[in-house]
Every structure is written in C-alpha cells, then in structure tokens.
Amino acid sequence: MRLCSVLAMAALMVAPAAISAQKKVPYWSSINAGKARMRTGPGQQFPASWMYQRAGLPVKVLATYPNWRKIEDPDGTQGWMQANLLSDKRTAIVRDEVRPMREKPNADARIVWRAEPGVVGKISDCANGWCKFDVTGRLGYIEAAHIWGAN
C-alpha cells in the first residue's frame, strides 16, 4: 500500500474528532449513541455520573480535551463524554409546555403540529427567532425561545 493511501485512511479515521476539537466552544451537539455515559472527568478512569439512553438528545459542548468533551445537558448537568458518542447533528428539546409548530416562521402562521415538553427533534434554518423543527418527519417552525439547543 502506498504511503499516501495510508495517510489518507488515517486522516479519515481521526477527522471527525479533530474537526470537533477545532470548533470554538461553546457549540451545540447531540448524543449519537443509544447509551452514553457522562463521567466526572475526561477519561474512562473517572467514575460515571450519569447514563444517557436517548440518542439525539441535544447537549452543549463547553470544553474539549483530546477525545473527550465537557458537556451540559438540557437540565444543566455537566460532565465529560467521549467525543465519539457525540454527533454534529443539531437537535433541540421542547421546554416547559406544549408548543405550537407552525407552517411558516411566523406567530400568525397556521399550526401544523403541537409538541409536548421533552420532545426532541432535528433543527435547521434557525433565523429571526424561529427554527425549522423535524420530529420524525413531522415538520414545522417553532420559536427558538421554546426549545433548548438553538441559542
């Protein structure tokens, strides 16, 4: 195998962690695994403080350390998680009460769905206080102030 091929394969294997490590903190991420442990420090030798069993849950990355990220969850709990358990996919969680999802990013637009507190969805196109919110294919716009993971 040629040296350039080996180097290219090595670069592909470390690229996601390296790219995430270069982001300016804080930044938004989401849990990528069905089960993910939060630890008290950046290493497996530190005790687990929490076990997440909800892939897609939004988290805020507060600090980076070679293959670890210090995160904050929607309840404000902070700890460390392995970088490979996180995704760059943007998600958000509905806060406080049932919130309308509208046809357009406008308070007067028709309500197409209603989302209960705790519902997680993918977000995109966040602008002017609104985000496109996708909950398993049910699309609508939700006010950014009503979700955690957008601001």
Give per-residue pLDDT as tens, 57-92.
999 999 999 999 999 999 999 999 999 999 999 999
**Could you tell me the pLDDT band of residue 21, with boundaries at 50, 70 and 90?**
low
Asked if pLDDT for residue 18 goes beyond 60, the answer is no
Q: What is the pTM of this model?
A: 0.83
In the chain, the amino acid numbered 127 is A
pLDDT in tens, 89-134: 999 999 999 999 999 999 999 999 999 999 999 999 999 999 999 9
Tell me which CATH homologous superfamily contains domain 92-148. Answer: SH3 Domains (2.30.30.40)
Residue 19 has pLDDT above 70, yes or no: no
Average pLDDT for 30-53: 97
Residue 89 in contact with residue 30, Cβ under 8 Å? Answer: yes
pLDDT at 12 over 60: no
Per the listing, tokens 């002017």 go with 128
The segment(s) of the chain belonging to CATH 2.30.30.40 are 23-89, 92-148
Among 124, 137, 128, CA closest to 105 = 128
Question: CATH says 23-89 is which class?
Answer: mainly beta
